[in-house]
Structure 1
């Protein structure tokens, strides 16, 4: 279980996800795909708590990022994949903070694939309290597959597209979350 206390390694100033160095899962075409995927659990770290006594807004995004990293490894993207010059980059994120969560409390995350094409993946995260299952936050993200040397988008390999198609098909049975695609703004009465 990831704790988040080790956001940095040694004197390094970069963010380290709990899954770095763990490789990726081997894909099994015969295995059932969970709907939604449940790949990441953690506990709210002291380092994530702000002056209001609960998890800071930036740390919600940090935890969603860790959930994305668990997903990347599920579909086959790891250090070796990135060393070969490709990765998924986040190009847009909409976070909805719904409830507070305090230091030491357990959280669990789910992820569903809403859509994908040759270069993009549209995903949706849900963060739940690990004990009482209260929905704490959601994040909708659009990811793009990139050629890191060229600094531009590029098509995903067939193997990755095959895995995403299988996941999207399993997740198509789930109801579409109400917040997906919802614009931000101040609602005013007539």
Structure 2
């Protein structure tokens, strides 16, 4: 069986610059809708929205300094929860632009929010709220992130703190009566 490969696999990460301005939100991933992502309804299949959000997360990990070398050291970030809100359809070939903001973090966890927009019209297509946990892959359990990663997360979180919290963050799913 073939394993899933992100578009950023093998690209490493760029060095962190404490003096560099941190965009709010981060815009690290864009991609056209692949023909293999289109379902029998003629638009992007629901599972592929998660795939694209995952690729956006991988771009974010590399922004933080988490790449293959980091993972080879026995550490990684794992997704433990995701809430996706699908707003509009995307058809084959249409451009997607992703943004990500850090909502919160502590020594072991990161709470992020993604937005997927149409790359030409700017229409909001979907959002994803995710909780990530830092893991010691050798022990198979959560672990504290190294100081340099926590430092970078703090800087990103501070840059993103001025952004309004999206209405969907933290909302439970259910049928309202």
Q: If the TM-score is normalised by the length of the shorter chain, which range does it land in?
A: over 0.9
CA–CA distance in 2 between the matches of 1:163 and 1:17? 23
In structure 1, the gaps of 5 or more residues are 1-11
Question: 1:138 aligns to what?
Answer: 127
| Residue of structure 2 aligned with 1:72, choices 61, 68, 77 | 61
Secondary structure of 2:11's match?
A: coil
Inter-partner Cα distance in structure 2 for 1:31 and 1:173: 18
Q: Tell me whether 1:60 sits opposite 2:17 in the alignment.
A: no
* Corresponding residue for residue 104 of structure 1: 93
Residue 74 of structure 2: aligned partner: 85
TM-score normalized by the length of structure 1: 0.93
SS in 2 for 1:70: helix
- The whole-number CA distance in structure 1 between the counterparts of 2:84 and 2:14 is 28
SS at match of 1:39: strand
Length-normalised TM-score, structure 2: 0.99
Answer yes or no: is 1:117 the counterpart of 2:95.
no
Q: How far apart, CA to CA, are the structure 2 residues paired with 1:91 and 1:104?
A: 30
2:147 is aligned to 158
Q: Distance in 2 between matches of 1:182 and 1:100?
A: 22
User: 1: distance between equivalents of 2:95 and 2:87?
Assistant: 16
